[in-house]
Amino acid sequence: MREGDRSPRLRVMPTRAGAATPTYATDGAAGLDLVACLDAPIRLEPGASAAIPTGLAVALPHGHEGSVRPRSGLAARHGVTVLNAPGTIDEDYRGEVAVLLINLGREAYDVKHGDRVAQLVVSPVTRVTVETVDRLEELGQTERGAGGFGSTGR
């Protein structure tokens, strides 16, 4: 950390032996790599899913959330991705972080201890006040209006 750095802090506590602290793979990376913390490999057959422990509990900065996202290489090479992508870690969650992986590929995939399985992007959250209205006009007019899936023609 550079002197005078005032970036938000992600506090991390290992909950299992051998847990890896999340790190950015490059200076320009948006997400911190999340690493599997396993006693034995977990086999994901095609179509199967599993919760992969990271061995970490975290305290996100106030006003932030953690977004658990797939690793593009894992998805491209093996068809393995995050099932609930993006998974959200709320700032008040203090349990162990686990990654829900699913194998959408055609071959079994073994997740091993130390494998990078997902990335964690920490972002500010805007909380809103919900206001119920009675008429569509109160929502405001837009060019798109109520057009749903595919309505923009692209």
Q: What's the CATH code of the domain at 66?
A: 2.70.40.10
**Tens digit of pLDDT for each residue in 3-47?**
667 899 999 999 999 999 999 999 999 999 999 999 999 999 999
134 falls within a domain: no
135 falls within a domain: no
69/119 Cα distance (integer angstroms): 5
Gap between the terminal Cα atoms of the chain: 44
Identify the H or E element spanning 55. strand 49-59
Please report which residue ranges of the chain form alpha helices under DSSP H: 72-78
Residue 36: domain span: 22-122
CB 100 within 8 A of CB 84: yes
How many domains in the chain?
A: 1
111 falls within a domain: yes
**Tens digit of pLDDT for each residue in 58-103?**
999 999 999 999 999 999 999 999 999 999 999 999 999 999 999 9
29 falls within a domain: yes
84 falls within a domain: yes
pTM beyond 0.85: yes
92 falls within a domain: yes
